[in-house]
Amino acid sequence: MADDGKKLALITGASRGLGAALAEALVPDYHVVAVARTTGALEDLDDRIQARGGSATLAPMDITNADAMAHLCRQIFDRWTGLDLWAHTAVHAPPLTPADHVDGRDWDKAVQINATATARLIPLVSPLLRGSGATAVFFDDPHLGEKFFGAYAASKAAQIALARAWAAETARTGPRVHIATPPPMPTATRARFFPGEDRRPLSDPRSAAQQILSELG
């Protein structure tokens, strides 16, 4: 619990898109620890949270930096002893390409961010999610078998496989591990996959965030 009596949420990938929408939707019940690489975007998020009467702790860092993330989790424990919610929205979208043309650097980055970082974060965050009702949320974006999505789909599927295993392992003991499948949204990630798409039919990230939080109960 935060210093002001609010619940505490960690959002990895909080600077834009669904992560930022979730951070804003958690106001006024949560103090948000917002993690992202882009300092300016985090500061903009903080302004919006404060305008809504909320509060946030900004953590501009790269989730692939295991030492930095371990230090952050230790700071969370030392200051607040634990978390009520972890939402892991951080994702890397490599360029769409045929499977026989996947660039090695693009593959490595997708695996590092989408899979390896998740495998390192779960052991770091898990000890913080010990309170009653503590929840971790992951976000599926299934594209397995779709042409040109090989690198993204494989790395994202690896992340969700880790989350599903953790969910099964903690079903009786907690924390609760929830896997949401958001609707298509006009995010920067989707724009990389579908440039020039008519974005008007897509779901507003704020609406998607509210729907996901309602699923958590």
Give the predicted TM-score (pTM) of the model.
0.95
pLDDT at 121: 98
DSSP per-residue letters across 38-83: -HHHHHHHHHHHHHTT-EEEEEE--TT-HHHHHHHHHHHHHHHS--
Distance, in Å, from the CA atom of 36 to the CA atom of 182, rounded to the nearest integer, reads 20
> Going from the N-terminus, what domains does the chain have, and what CATH number goes with each?
7-216 (3.40.50.720)
Specify whether the CB–CB gap between 21 and 208 falls below 8 A.
yes
pLDDT at 143: 93
pLDDT for 1 beyond 70? no
Can you list the pairs that 39-46 forms with residues at least 24 positions away whose Cβ atoms lie under 8 Å? 41/15, 41/16, 42/14, 42/15, 45/14, 45/15, 45/20
* Of 50, 69, 74, nearest in space to 59 by CA: 69
Distance, in Å, from the CA atom of 143 to the CA atom of 155, rounded to the nearest integer, reads 11
Distance, in Å, from the CA atom of 88 to the CA atom of 19, rounded to the nearest integer, reads 8
Task: Tell me the per-residue pLDDT of 31-73, one tens digit each, with 9 for 90 and over.
Answer: 999 999 999 999 999 999 999 999 999 999 999 999 999 999 9
Distance, in Å, from the CA atom of 157 to the CA atom of 43, rounded to the nearest integer, reads 31
Question: Which two three-digit tokens encode residue 122?
Answer: 């779960």
> Distance of CA 30 to CAs 2, 21, 49, Å?
8, 14, 11
Predicted confidence band at 85 (pLDDT cuts at 50, 70, 90)? very high
Span 163-169, mean pLDDT? 98
Task: Tell me the per-residue pLDDT of 180-193, one tens digit each, with 9 for 90 and over.
Answer: 999 999 998 899 89
* Of 111, 118, 7, 126, nearest in space to 63 by CA: 118
DSSP per-residue letters across 82-107: --SEEEE-----PPP--GGG--HHHH
- Looking at residue 180, its amino acid is A
